Amino acid sequence: MARRLQTAAGVGELGTFRLASGELVRCLVGPSGRLALYRESGPRLVPADPRLLLDAVKLSDDPTWLIDTEPDFAGTLPAD
């Protein structure tokens, strides 16, 4: 079972998720050391609203699943 951590908008789970739109969303420990949600935007990860996970399907417990290089964070969450 995946480790559960606290996010700004509730409880989240580390991992990779797919939205109904087909986009991948990553719930991972961000640059600030806090759990954060990022959606893929080309080769970059941009902050995303945790409510996106309400209708997402979890693909992997690994938040860097299918990422070949170190994630490139395009911004930080407002709470950072």
**pLDDT for 17:** 92
Q: What is the SS3 string spanning the chain? A: CCCEEEECCEEEECEEEECCCCCEEEEEECCCCCEEEEEEECCEEEECCHHHHHHCEEEECCCCCCCCCCCEECCCCCCC
Q: 10-41, pLDDT tens digit by residue?
A: 346 889 999 988 999 999 887 778 888 889 88
One-letter amino acid identity for 36?
A
32 vs 3, higher pLDDT: 32
Q: What values do phi and psi take at 60, rounded to 5?
A: -155, 150
Average pLDDT value for the chain? 74
**Distance of alpha carbon 25 from alpha carbon 18, whole angstroms:** 6
